[in-house]
Amino acid sequence: MKIKVLIILTICGALSSCATYKPSNVNDLCNVLSEASWYESALDSQKKWGTPIHVQLAIMHQESKFNRTIRPDMEWFLGIIPTGRPSNAYGYAQALEGTWETYIRSTKNWNAKRDEFDDAIDFIGWYTYQSHKKLGISKWDAKAQYLAYHEGWGGYKRKTYDKKAWLIKVSDKVKRRSLEYARQYKGCRAQLDDNIRGWF
């Protein structure tokens, strides 16, 4: 009986650690994907949607720094009266409720949650695939993909980003992050693949 309880506690502990895992260095792709289940989910999204891992993770880094429960900052009137948040974005991908619901209907991923990494990375893969399909944006173009991600497909078509110099700077940062992540991935891909095989 004691052995059974110990096994159950061990399994629960392992699952809990996976659920609450947060990278210690969000600027290092190898560290971000050191949790085997995260790497497997990233590979699945890349295979399913065709957007490279480094592009997807560069977008997620910009949106949440891999914080599963992050929301836009509360806005205040006169510095003391809360007036609400600027949007209902939430989770790893900072997906809006409406866009998330569209993703769920499109993919039939009915149990998807915005604060689960595997669902969030799949959402980013899906969104970038749609941006490629609707707007002709290369899945490897982190800058343009991020602009479409931030402004929405309609906003990207209207080039709303042209009037937002700050957003252009952010998209350039996402591009640089993507290139750095790609470089890092080359150096640790073999080890990450070994981790997956060991995990099973």
The CATH number of whichever domain residue 42 belongs to comes to 1.10.530
Residue 98 within any structural domain of the chain? yes
Q: Which domain holds residue 51?
A: 24-199
- Say whether pLDDT at 19 is over 70: no
User: 15 lies in a domain?
Assistant: no
Report if residue 19 sits inside a domain: no
109 class by beta-carbon count within 10 Å (0-12 exposed, 13-18 middle, 19+ buried): middle
What H or E segment, with its residue span, contains residue 1? none
What is the per-residue pLDDT for 24? 92
Q: Are 58 and 174 in contact (CB under 8 A)?
A: yes
Least confident of 11-15, 71-75, 160-164, 175-179: 11-15
| pLDDT digits 0-9 by tens, 37-74 | 999 999 999 999 999 999 999 999 999 999 998 754 54
